């Protein structure tokens, strides 16, 4: 347990706000300085460990004009390599490109015949981007094994990427409940995530609880010491006008309230769990069409809910602040 006996102007994470203590030491003398340090050091030590494990804030969308103040990674799921290069030039935010679509053959539940050559060509493209800071790693893809691709195939691709890109490249993938059948997370990966959603936005706390149970009971025991997880909270909403056509009530304000509730829950959990490395919420921008059949279409993104954007900004600025 940590006890703090000082208050920074902008919150305890802003260590620079303690800069005035030097004047106190000078006025009170060396003995007072030692006593103050003995009181403050335990709190400062806890200060450093409270959030240093949170490293990444990204979205499943590429909307840098709206996101750039509170993200530090551009997800390849919503951006091509040319998009990521342009984003880096405009905002100096590195990206995590995704693999070409001709590596994993989801329709046939395996790998394309030329997957190795395609992966090697991707590696050759990535190496200069990693060297100049435009990219910081690779997002292998979304729910690869969930779509029927064997774990052995995912492992083979991850191993090839690790060999070609080196140890400094971050390798990350998002999966689903199929992970319960994995003996372990592929060693070459750095981070994994899952996404269990409160699809109707009626119980945000339940989404947090469901994810927490799966992470702690299923995923954590399968992690190697160097591996961690990201959180993928649902930040979408269903269109109230669309709901009304089916005599379904889905007020946007009520949905936003539950999304903020879940984000609060994920945020508190993340700050206190060193296995959590950051956030990759889905989805920030509006979609052109329904994401699900039926009246709960999940078409709207966080961008239409100011309270949700404000909460995401709070989380993101916490994660990316020095």
| Cα 126 from Cα 124, distance rounded (Å) | 5
What integer pLDDT is reported at residue 52 of this predicted model? 84
How does DSSP classify residue 229? E
Residue 12 Cα distances to 2, 5, 168, 186, 216, angstroms = 12, 11, 30, 37, 28
Give the 3-state secondary structure of residue 228: strand
Locate tokens 């304000």: which residue? Answer: 253
What integer pLDDT is reported at residue 51 of this predicted model? 63
pLDDT tens for the chain, residues 1 to 322? 443 333 333 333 333 333 333 333 333 443 444 444 344 444 444 444 346 899 999 999 999 999 999 999 999 888 999 999 999 999 999 999 999 999 999 999 999 999 999 999 999 999 999 999 999 999 999 999 999 999 999 999 999 999 999 999 999 999 999 999 999 999 999 999 999 999 999 999 999 999 999 999 999 999 999 999 999 999 999 999 999 999 999 999 999 999 999 999 999 999 999 999 999 999 999 999 999 999 999 999 999 999 999 999 999 999 999 8
Locate tokens 């946007």: which residue? Answer: 252
Give the 3-state secondary structure of residue 124: helix
| Cα 3 from Cα 44, distance rounded (Å) | 9
Backbone angles phi, psi at 224, to 5 degrees: -80, 165
What integer pLDDT is reported at residue 106 of this predicted model? 97
Angle, helix 151-165 to helix 115-131, in steps of 10 degrees: 40
With beta carbons less than 8 A apart as the criterion, state whether 219 and 192 touch: yes
Single pTM value for the model: 0.84
With beta carbons less than 8 A apart as the criterion, state whether 238 and 200 touch: yes
| Cα 39 from Cα 31, distance rounded (Å) | 13
| Cα 255 from Cα 8, distance rounded (Å) | 34
| Cα 262 from Cα 57, distance rounded (Å) | 17
Note the residue count of the chain: 322
């Amino acid at each position: 347990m940590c006890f703090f006996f000082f208050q920074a102007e902008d919150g305890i994470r802003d260590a620079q706000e303690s800069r005035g203590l030097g004047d106190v030491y000078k006025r009170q003398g060396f003995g007072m300085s030692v006593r103050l340090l003995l009181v403050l050091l335990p709190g400062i030590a806890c200060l450093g460990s409270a959030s240093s494990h949170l490293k990444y804030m990204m979205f499943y969308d590429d909307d840098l004009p709206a996101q750039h103040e509170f993200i530090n990674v551009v997800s390849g799921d919503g951006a091509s390599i040319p998009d990521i290069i342009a984003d880096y030039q405009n905002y100096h935010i590195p990206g995590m490109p995704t693999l070409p679509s001709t590596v994993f053959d989801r329709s046939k539940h395996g790998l394309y015949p030329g997957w190795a050559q395609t992966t090697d060509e991707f590696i050759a493209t990535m190496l200069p981007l990693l060297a100049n800071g435009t990219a910081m790693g690779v997002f292998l893809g979304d729910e690869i094994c969930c779509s029927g691709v064997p774990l052995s195939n995912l492992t083979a691709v991850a191993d090839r990427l690790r060999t070609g890109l080196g140890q400094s490249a971050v390798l990350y993938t998002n999966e689903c409940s199929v992970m319960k059948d994995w003996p372990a997370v592929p060693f070459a990966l750095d981070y994994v995530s899952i996404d269990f959603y409160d699809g109707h936005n009626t119980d945000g706390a339940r989404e947090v609880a469901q994810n927490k149970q799966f992470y702690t009971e299923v995923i954590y025991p399968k992690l190697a010491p160097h591996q961690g997880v990201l959180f993928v909270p649902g930040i979408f909403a269903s269109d109230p006008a669309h709901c009304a056509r089916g005599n379904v009530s889905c007020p946007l304000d009520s949905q936003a309230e539950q999304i903020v509730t879940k984000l609060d829950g994920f945020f508190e959990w993340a700050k206190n769990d060193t296995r959590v490395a950051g956030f990759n919420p889905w989805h920030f921008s509006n979609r052109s069409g329904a994401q699900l059949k039926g009246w709960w279409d999940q078409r709207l993104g966080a961008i239409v809910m100011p309270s949700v954007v404000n909460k995401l900004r709070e989380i993101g600025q916490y994660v990316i602040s020095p």
